[in-house]
Amino acid sequence: MRRDSDSDKLKPVRQEKGELSGRSNHGTTPPGTIPAGWLWVGQVGRPHGIRGAFFLKTEDNRVSWPGYKTLLLRNKLEKLVQVDKSYVSGGKLALQLLGLNSREEIESIYNSHLFVSRDEIKLDEQEYLVAELVGCEVFVEGRPGVFGSVVAVHDFGAQETLEIRRTTGEDDTVLFPFTEHFVITVDEPNKKITVKDEPAFLDEQNK
């Protein structure tokens, strides 16, 4: 597999490279629209203490913060905010933003969405953000036209796997290994992935 250069290994990175601990029990989901150039982080959760800290609601229950300082907060309006500190309390990640110093201020922005600039996320060679893989068109080497599109990326332990919705139907999906052995190219700017023609994964799963 290659990125447009020789490949070493493939690794999807889930959002902001925080520590993951399974599905969220917060019930939060990404907003319907995400500003161009930004990636969704989560939502402002319930206040923690009385000095303006809050628990961060995420899809993955992350308990570490990658050190991002500037976030976009979307409430009724959108504004840039600065992260003052992050910490873990009771097994949950909490943030403190500059300029917010009371429980009441956090309650006023409860459930607001937070985003991080794509430019702040540093990836190693052959690392890809899951958020940027989802939606990519999938092409199969030697076959004409678009095979399908990526609707999800799963981690089943042994390897990351693309869930691809075939163009043949809304509920017609297959699972395909996201490894350098099976993936030929990932064209991020044009949101295209080319994979090897492997009938066992592409054609035979739903038979």
Contact 53, 95 (CB under 8 A): yes
Contact 60, 15 (CB under 8 A): yes
Q: Which CATH number is 109's domain given?
A: 2.40.30.60
Mean pLDDT of 149-166: 87
Asked if 45 and 86 sit in the same domain, the reply is yes
162 beta partners: 153, 176
Asked if 42 and 114 sit in the same domain, the reply is yes
Asked if 113 and 163 sit in the same domain, the reply is no
More reliable by pLDDT, 53 or 205? 53
The pLDDT score that the predictor gives to residue 8 is 42
The pLDDT score that the predictor gives to residue 197 is 96
Domain end position, chosen among 71, 87, 120: 120
Give the dihedral sign, CA 59/134/163/158. negative
Q: Which long-range contacts (CB under 8 A, 24 or more apart) does 140-145 make?
A: 140/194, 140/195, 140/196, 140/197, 140/202, 141/184, 141/194, 141/195, 141/196, 141/197, 142/197, 143/197
Locate tokens 């905010």: which residue? Answer: 81
Range of the domain at 152: 125-202
Number of domains in the chain: 2
Distance (Å, whole) CA 83 – CA 105: 15
Q: How many CB atoms are located within 10 Å of the residue 102 CB?
A: 12
Asked if 105 and 136 sit in the same domain, the reply is no
Asked if 132 and 198 sit in the same domain, the reply is yes
Asked if 109 and 141 sit in the same domain, the reply is no
Asked if 112 and 156 sit in the same domain, the reply is no
**Nearest in space to 12 (alpha carbons), one of 120, 130, 189, 125:** 130
The pLDDT score that the predictor gives to residue 12 is 60
Q: In one letter, which amino acid is 185?
A: T
Query: Could you tell me if residue 54 is inside a domain?
Result: yes
Asked if 92 and 154 sit in the same domain, the reply is no
The pLDDT score that the predictor gives to residue 10 is 65
The pLDDT score that the predictor gives to residue 6 is 37
**pLDDT tens column, 65-116:** 989 999 999 988 899 999 999 999 999 999 999 999 999 999 999 999 999 9
The pLDDT score that the predictor gives to residue 23 is 35
Query: Could you tell me if residue 70 is inside a domain?
Result: yes
Mean pLDDT of 12-31: 49
2 has a pLDDT exceeding 80: no
More reliable by pLDDT, 125 or 189? 189
| Cβ partners under 8 Å of residue 142, min gap 6 | 197
Query: Could you tell me if residue 5 is inside a domain?
Result: no
Return mean pLDDT, the chain: 84
Domain end position, chosen among 120, 149, 175: 120
| Residue 20's pLDDT band (cuts 50, 70, 90) | very low
| Residue 123's pLDDT band (cuts 50, 70, 90) | confident
**Nearest in space to 131 (alpha carbons), one of 4, 22, 30:** 30
| Residue 163's pLDDT band (cuts 50, 70, 90) | very high
The pLDDT score that the predictor gives to residue 166 is 93
Q: For the whole model, what pTM was predicted? A: 0.65
119 has a pLDDT exceeding 50: yes
Residue-wise burial string across 107-120, b where 16 or more C-beta atoms lie within 10 A, e elsewhere: eebeebbbbbeeee
